[in-house]
Structure 1
C-alpha cells in the first residue's frame, strides 16, 4: 500500500459554474467543475508534490465518474473511494461574480457521501498517512458521516498521527447553532492544529480578538491555532509564541471560494516539510491569495515551483 503524507475525507460534488456574471437564477450556461473542501485540500497538496489520499463515497453516476477522473488526473490517491449504487453524487450551482462572494446552491441531501459510515473505515489505509486533515463538513452532512469522522479522529490520535481541523462552518446543514458549536469544538479540541476564519472563531468561542480565540483552543490542549484574517493575513499562536503574518495583496479578487482550503494546503504542507510556523503560515497566505484570483475553487493552486517563485517575487517587491 502506498505511503501517504496526508489523508482527508468528505463530500465532493459536481459544480456547475455560471459562464456569465449575474444572479444565479438568470444563468443559462454553465461549466462543470469539481467542488469539495477536502478534495480542494487533497488537490492542492498533490500539486505541491505530496502524497494525498481522499476517502468518500460517490454515486454510480456521471457526476461520480467525473470526480474520480478529475482526482486521478490530479494524482490524488482514490484507492478507498467507494461507489454507492443506491444514492447519488451531490452537485451544486454557483454564480459568477466580478467581486465578492458568489451565490451557491447545493443539491446534496441524501447523497452517497452522506452515507459514509464506520464500517467503511479502513484502518490500514488511514495508518498509511502521517497526517489527517478534517473539516467540519463531514460532521454536518449526516449522523453517519459524523460518526465516521469522530471514529477517524480518535483512531488517528490514538496512533500518534497529527491532525489539522478547519471548521468550514455550514450553518444550514445543522439543526441548531448550539449543536454546531458543540460538535465543532469537540472535534477541534482533539486536533493538533486548528485553522478557523476570524468570523468562525467568534461563532465557536464567543471571542472577537484573534488572541482570545486562539487561547480558547490552546487551553484545551491544541498545539497551534492559526486564524485567517482575509486580506490582512493570518494570526497564529502557540503556548510559546504568537504573530500576525501579513497577507499577499492582490490586484483583483475574482472568486473567494477555495481560498480557505488553499490556506490549509499551505500551512499543512509547510509544517509537514518542517518549515517554521511563520513560513508555513506565509505559504498559506500565498496560496490563499492565488486562489482568489481564479474562478474555480482550486484553479489557482500552484505547483511547488510556482509557489516558491510567487513568494520570492512578492517578497522582493515588498522590500523594494
Structure 2
C-alpha cells in the first residue's frame, strides 16, 4: 500500500579529505542519511520526503538538486533568505571519525518556525522520523512547536520514529538535553537509541534498563543499537529479541553506521518484514556502509533487499 515517509532535520555540506590534500564535497546529516537509505530499500509505491530549511544561495540550490537526484521529495524544504546550509568536515583516523562544524547561519535551525508548513508536511505523511540532533539545533520554542505536531501525529495513529542520537556538544546544558530528549521520546512510537549513549548520559546500567525507561515514556517499540554486539528489539508485548551484528572485514568509515541502519530498518518494516528480519537486513546494510568512505554509499555496493 502506498505511503509517505518524512524525515525531519538538517542536511549539511560534507567535506572529506581526499588524495593529494584535496577535499571532496558531499551532502549529509543524520536524518537525511536515514532518508537516503530508506529510499534505497523502500517499496516503490512509497514516497520519501525531507523536511528542513535551506537558504536561497547557490550552495542551497545545489543541495536541493542533489536531494532530487536521490529521489528525495523536497516539497517540505523551506527557502529562507540570508541563510545557507551548514558545513562540516570529517576527520578520519583508523576508521573512527571526528567532526568540525560551521553551522551558525544554517537555515535548518528555523525549520519549525513556520508551524503551518510543518503541520501540513507531517499531516500528509504516514511515517515521520526525527532525531536528537533535530531537537538540538532548534530554539526551545521551536522544539515545542515540532514536538506538539509529532504528538498530534502519534495520537492520529501515525508511526513516529525517534533516534536520540545524543551529541552533547550541540547542547548548552546537559539537563536541558536530557529533558528535551525525554520529551522527544514521549512523542514517538518507535525509539532507536544507541546503548553507549544511553549508559553515558542517562545512567542506564543495562539494555533492559534502557528499554524499560523508554517504554515508561510511552514508546511502544524499541530498537537498541549496541555496535558490534548487535541490536535488541522490544516490540509491543512480544518477547525481547536480540539480532547479532553483521561481521565486518575492514572498518573504513563509521560516519553513517547508525543512520543507514535506521533507514534500512524502517524501509523493511514498511515492506512488511518482521522486526527481526528488518533488523538483520539493516545490520547487513550498516556493515556495508562502514566498509566505504562517506555517509552515503551507492546501492550497488550494498546488499539487495
> Normalising to structure 1: TM-score of the pair?
0.87
Is residue 2:227 matched to residue 1:230? yes
Is residue 2:271 matched to residue 1:273? yes
Q: 2:100 aligns with which of 99, 105, 124?
A: 105
* Match in the other structure for 1:214: 211
* Match in the other structure for 1:29: 22
**Contact residue 9 and residue 134 of structure 2 kept, 8 A:** yes
User: CA separation of 1:78/1:7 partners in 2, compared to 1, >3 Å: closer, same or farther?
Assistant: same
> Counterparts in 2 of 1:243-254, with a 5 A limit?
243-254=241-252
Give, in angstroms, the shift of residue 28 of structure 1: 3.7
Is residue 2:191 matched to residue 1:194? yes
**Contact residue 185 and residue 217 of structure 2 kept, 8 A:** no
State the Cα RMSD in Å: 2.0
Give, in angstroms, the shift of residue 4 of structure 1: 4.3
> Counterparts in 2 of 1:49-128, with a 5 A limit?
49=42, 50-97=46-93, 99-122=94-117, 123-128=119-124
For structure 1, the residue ranges without an aligned partner over 5 or more in a row are 21-26, 309-320
Q: 1:155 aligns with which of 152, 155, 177?
A: 152
SS of alignment partner, residue 76 of structure 2? coil
Partners of 1:302 and 1:131 in 2: CA distance: 26
| CA shift digits 1:53-77 (9 cap, x unpaired) | 1011111223212211111000000
* Match in the other structure for 1:317: none
Is residue 2:280 matched to residue 1:282? yes
Partners of 2:247 and 2:297 in 1: CA distance: 19
Q: Which has the higher contact order (CA 8 A, sep 6+)?
A: 2
Give, in angstroms, the shift of residue 159 of structure 1: 2.3
Q: 1:169 aligns with which of 166, 169, 174?
A: 166
Give, in angstroms, the shift of residue 41 of structure 1: 1.2
Give, in angstroms, the shift of residue 177 of structure 1: 1.2
Give, in angstroms, the shift of residue 103 of structure 1: 2.3
* Match in the other structure for 1:132: 128
User: CA separation of 1:286/1:52 partners in 2, compared to 1, >3 Å: closer, same or farther?
Assistant: same
Give, in angstroms, the shift of residue 300 of structure 1: 5.1
**Contact residue 291 and residue 300 of structure 1 kept, 8 A:** no
Partners of 1:125 and 1:102 in 2: CA distance: 33
> Normalising to structure 2: TM-score of the pair?
0.91
User: CA separation of 1:87/1:142 partners in 2, compared to 1, >3 Å: closer, same or farther?
Assistant: same
* Match in the other structure for 1:14: 13
Partners of 2:5 and 2:41 in 1: CA distance: 12
User: CA separation of 1:171/1:301 partners in 2, compared to 1, >3 Å: closer, same or farther?
Assistant: farther
For structure 2, the residue ranges without an aligned partner over 5 or more in a row are none
Give, in angstroms, the shift of residue 247 of structure 1: 0.8
